[in-house]
A and B are shown apart, each in its own frame.
Chain A
Amino acid sequence: MDNLIINEGFPLLSFLIFFPLAGAVVMLFFSGDSFARYWTLAVTSITALFSIPLVSGFDPSTAKFQFVEAHNWIPRFNISYILGVDGISILLVMLTTLIMPFCVLASWRYIQKRVTPFMICLLIMETSMIGVFVALDFVLFYILWEFMLIPMYLLIAIWGGPRKVYASIKFFLYTLVGSLLLLVAIIALYLENGTFFIPAMMWQNYTITFQVLAFLAFFLAFAIKVPMFPFHTWLPAAHVEAPTAGSVILASILLKMGTYGFLRFCLPITPDATFLLAPYVLWLSIAGILYGGFTALAQNDMKKLIAYSSVGHMGFVTLGIFILNPQGLQGAIMQMINHGVTTGALFLCVGMIYERTHSRELAVAAGVGKYMPWYVTFLAFFSLSSFGFPGTNSFIGEFLVLAGTFRDNIPLALAAIPGAVLAAAYMLRLLQRVVWGGTNNPDQSYLVDLNFREIITLAPFLLFVFWIGLKPQPFIDLMNTSVVSLLDQLHSWQQQGVAMTLR
């Protein structure tokens, strides 16, 4: 327990987790679509506001978990209710709380039927997403992990596109299969350790076989979530059919849960297996980067294009994680945030076009630049950010990842470069089609440019694109100590292991 800093005062993390849930419960008693929208906006905004003290009160100089709340829950099985943030999770929590109000804003006109259940689903998702990032007990973690499956399923199945049934069930089953293996791994670890407390399971001397099996179980669950090639095929389906808010949450936050899992569980709990299997994971990441790039280039459906681009981007993240050096890890975490911001914004943009043209086809949206100048300005900046243009946020992340990769494994880095080029290719293709089109664009004169609400929705994303891109230091400072500590422990473990074998 020495690596926890207990929070004596107001239980901020519990508040952040359960306040949206409480908000959802309140909505059960009120009907009225308008009320649902405003109430949810208020609840998510308050949550976002309350998450700001988390950042200002965070001590970036220590790698211990902070704002910890620890209570006994089910003493019989040693299950406790423990929450805490460290450098790795704080940025993800902030990402979650700050994006949610904008998801609500994006759904303002998009969702017309069954608004109250929709908003309830959003709030429950927020609860579970924040909970996943701060849970320090495995059972708690697993419950919250599973908790967001049903709302997401409902989000796609009820308010989704033409093939929503197919997409929602595919998403559900795919993720569930992974989660089941996760459960098996959790129970195995409990049997080994006698407790579900996560930090207590880290850096233990499990046998190599156990480690490999646990790693593989974790890997499958998280790889499906990330998504890594070849376990990614639920993503295009789910993204395409989900409503805008659903796509944004899926892309910005849900995917990060997978990579967070790698960082929080695979590396510290099964370090030997990590070292052993890292090369395979790295090449799988490269495969994901290139594969995502090629497939995105071939798409004519905007949402599918961005979905495949997510596969590529998350490939960079896993590349950064498993290269196991400071730049790589920092780049990976930065990329998580950047991807959340940029791809979330891109999905918002596509949603706005969809609301107007009722189609996701590139050909239908060709040449809107002439009639929607504000929109294409935003779109242009987000596209530039998506392929890592210098000055935007993704440049920092990709650069750090590639720098880390170059340091340790040059062939890998060289293999990743075409991925970056492909990213530029498909993003610019999208941008060119949407903004200018060609010589036979459809008649877009009926289109109305962004209204005030939509500009308010997109502007903060743009702010973060440039803030992180031009002054990333504050963000890196937040995570630095935790990253360095994790890597130190990892490498000293490696030395230990070497020393052991030499004896």
Chain B
Amino acid sequence: MTNCFTHPALILIIGALILPFVRGPLRKPYLFLVPLLSLAAVAGNSSMSGQFGIYQFLDWQLVFGRVDRLSSIFALIMALMAVVGTLYALHVDNAKEHIAAWFYVAGSLGTIYSGDYLSLFLFWEMMAFSSTFLIWFRRGEKSLAAGYRYLLIHTIGGIILLAGIMLRYQAVGDIAFTLMDVKNPELYTWLIMLGFGLNAAVVPLHSWLPDAYSEASFNGSVFMCAFTTKTAVYTLARGFAGFDILILLGVIMALYGVIYAVMENDIRKLLAWSIVSQVGYMVAAVGIGTELAINGASAHAVAHILYKGLLFMGAGSVLYMTGKTKFTELGGLYRKMPATMIFTIIGCLSISAAPFFAAFASKGMIISAGYEVHVNWASWLLMFGATGTFIYNGLKLPYYLFFGKSNCTAETWEKAGDPPWNMQMAMATSAFLCIAVGSAPVVLYGLLPHPVSYNPYNGYLISETLQLLGFASVAFFLLRRYLEPEDKICLDMDWFYRKGGSLFLWIAKHPLQWFDTAWGEAYRVVGLGPLMVISRFWSWFDWHGIDGVVDGIARCVRAIGGRVRAVQSGQIQYTIYFSATFAALILIAYVLFQLS
């Protein structure tokens, strides 16, 4: 593929549309092949740079293929995740789930490659709508409501984004998607940032994430954890690099996510909060805006996708096999799910930035970048948060899920086991990549947007990390009883709109409904009733009135005919009598007439 830009989203969309027709033994190879092809397309594209796929639509120039190092690295990891995710879900029979997932990935890739706001918006909405289905396909009792909340929030976010895009077009005059003037933010700058930020789960617009990701299907959540948020990180990196408020927001996200994750009982909600936290690192890095920071954000995104996918795959395996996701219903599973345990622990070590595991290569970059531009407070707080990450993800999750006391019912215990081969293979691939990226980060660094002179493998950083991890573990084991999972949910910002929603519903059900019913009654009594009365009257009139006359005449004629018929008695004397009388009458009349 030389000098020819192939849009991977196109491959995925066409593949998705053909999928229902591919059945039987062809399906599994097909499912594996299509994302692989899109990955190949991305790989081919990444050797190019420039703008491709330019179309003129009315007044605007749409750019579907803006290729540079920033978009290439994000597209690469997204396409790779698509392969792994589809492999994980290879055994799912329902074609619609795969179609939704591929459209979701297509939306993400489209957003990453778009060079103008209009095509970005198109793919943005494609992501939102298709990912909703990934929630609905779980078909749990709460999935429907969770999906609707997700869809509503994302639609609102999309509208805010659209408002920002339109205002910007009005102000600037073009729709090119480039770096905003972050030193002088206008209203549209804020609106677009809000739109991107909602997808990135920036606090306070983050509540949808734990809500939705914990309700998605076991395979759907593997896709969801990667695409929406990291695509948003890409758009923020592209458009808002160096926007200082993002540093503050990122740090708040990082810490907020940590606290809630520590409290959580549901595994996948914990992981979802962890996403909020980790994306906070990326957002903060984008806010810092230097080359090292953007490199850090990109590297952390790649690492995050790898290990978060792995973690969700592990949790998804538990869900798939046992049907349970709460610590209070699980525990001690190492005996029954050893492979899953190993993969999950690799993921946990990756997120904790242990040496030789994924995030070790990227987290340090972000922290260093913070020190370089002297936002030291951010870096300290992010390190603080990193400790927390290790606590809930590196220690609490494996301990209460795989070790520790078993809260499983006998039925759950019975069902537990290592998942099918394709799921394990997907997890193995991710685990391998996590270790590879962590141990030999040069490969990753070679793909980063800016030149890299950073090397995490220095004695100091290793020592720092080991000390941190070691003593945090000590604290964990000493203070274990304060972390015991409780079967409770954590209220969050979504309390406002969920309660607000029920208030709105109350208004609709009571005052508004009363008015509507009264109006309908009035309409029925005053309008409809008399109308039908009038109609029935005219119908009666038609039959008895007009037809009364017409049929009456006919009946008269028949009756007269009947009478006259009786005159035909057959007796000749009467016939002569009547005809002679009749003739005489005529004659007399004629004579009289002639005389006058």
Contact = CB atoms under 8 A, between A and B. Distances in A.
> Are chains A and B touching in the complex at the 8 Å CB cutoff?
yes
Interface in B538-552: 538-539, 542, 546-547, 550-551
B535 interface: yes
Interface string A198-238: 00000000000000000000000000000000100100100
A297 B533 CA distance: 10
Contact of A295 (B531, B535, B550, B554): B535
A295 B532 contact: no
Contacts of B576: none
A173 interface: yes
Contacts of B538: 291, 294-295, 298
A489 interface: no
Contacts of B547: 233
B335 interface: no
B534 interface: yes
B536 interface: yes
Contacts of A78: none
B546 A295 contact: no
A299 B542 CA distance: 12
B539 A294 contact: yes
Nearest to A237: B547
Interface string B515-539: 0000000000000000110111111
Contacts, number: 33
Interface in B362-393: none
Contact of B546 (A230, A297, A299): A230
A233 B550 contact: yes
A294 B550 contact: no
B546 A294 contact: no
B550 to A, nearest CB: 6
Main secondary structure of the interface of B (DSSP, over half): helix
Contact of A297 (B535, B542, B550, B551): B535
Nearest to B528: A425
A111 B534 CA distance: 38
B45 to A, nearest CB: 45
Contacts of B542: 233, 236, 291, 295
Interface string B545-567: 01100110010000000000000
Interface string B491-535: 000000000000000000000000000000000000000011011
Nearest to B542: A295
A233 B554 CA distance: 13
Contact of B536 (A174, A233, A236, A298): A298
Contacts of B535: 294-298
A297 to B, nearest CB: 4
A292 B537 CA distance: 12
Pick the most buried of A173, A298, A299: most chain B CB atoms within 10 A of its CB. A298
Contacts of B531: 297, 425
Contacts of A230: 546
B554 A294 contact: no
Interface in A282-296: 291, 294-296
Nearest to A300: B539
A298 B534 CA distance: 9
Contacts of A296: 535
B546 A298 contact: no
B539 A298 contact: yes
Contacts of B546: 230, 233
B554 A299 contact: no
Contacts of B539: 294-295, 298-299
A170 B557 CA distance: 13
Interface size of A as a range: 10 to 19
Interface residues of B, number: 14
Interface in A393-425: 425
A2 B152 CA distance: 74
A441 B95 CA distance: 37
Contacts of B536: 298
Given A230-B546, A233-B546, A233-B547, A297 B554 contact: no
Contacts of A297: 531-532, 535
Interface in A230-248: 230, 233, 236
Pick the most buried of A174, A295, A299, A425: most chain B CB atoms within 10 A of its CB. A295
A173 B550 CA distance: 11
Contacts of A425: 531
Interface string B277-306: 000000000000000000000000000000
Nearest to A304: B539
A236 B541 CA distance: 14
A173 B546 CA distance: 16
Nearest to A229: B546
Nearest to A299: B539
B369 to A, nearest CB: 62
A298 B530 CA distance: 12
A323 B555 CA distance: 38
Interface string A154-196: 0000000000000000100110000000000000000000000
Contacts of B532: 297-298
A295 B543 CA distance: 10
Nearest to B557: A173
A173 B538 CA distance: 24
Interface string A241-276: 000000000000000000000000000000000000
B228 to A, nearest CB: 38
Contacts of B551: 170
A329 to B, nearest CB: 29
A296 B539 CA distance: 8
A230 B551 CA distance: 14
Contacts of A291: 538, 542
Nearest to B553: A173
A425 B528 CA distance: 10
B284 to A, nearest CB: 56
Nearest to A234: B550
A294 B539 CA distance: 7
B456 to A, nearest CB: 65
Nearest to A230: B546
A332 B547 CA distance: 28
Nearest to B540: A298
Nearest to A311: B542
A229 to B, nearest CB: 9
Pick the most buried of A233, A236, A291: most chain B CB atoms within 10 A of its CB. A233
Nearest to B539: A298
Interface in B229-274: none
A234 to B, nearest CB: 8
A264 B534 CA distance: 37
A363 B546 CA distance: 27
A236 B551 CA distance: 14
A285 B546 CA distance: 17
A334 to B, nearest CB: 28
Contacts of B550: 170, 174, 233
A402 to B, nearest CB: 22
A209 B247 CA distance: 99
Given A230-B546, A294-B539, A295-B542, A173 B534 contact: no
Contacts of A295: 535, 538-539, 542
Contacts of A233: 542, 546-547, 550
Nearest to B533: A298
Interface string B404-427: 000000000000000000000000
A239 to B, nearest CB: 13
A233 B550 CA distance: 8
Given A233-B542, A295-B535, A297-B535, 14 more contacts: A170-B550, A170-B551, A170-B554, A230-B546, A233-B546, A233-B550, A291-B542, A294-B534, A294-B535, A294-B538, A295-B538, A297-B532, A298-B532, A425-B531
Interface of A: 170, 173-174, 230, 233, 236, 291, 294-299, 425
13 contacts: A170-B550, A170-B554, A173-B554, A230-B546, A291-B542, A294-B535, A295-B535, A295-B542, A298-B532, A298-B535, A298-B538, A298-B539, A299-B539
Ranked 8 nearest A-B pairs via Cβ = A298-B535, A298-B539, A297-B535, A294-B538, A294-B535, A298-B536, A295-B539, A233-B547
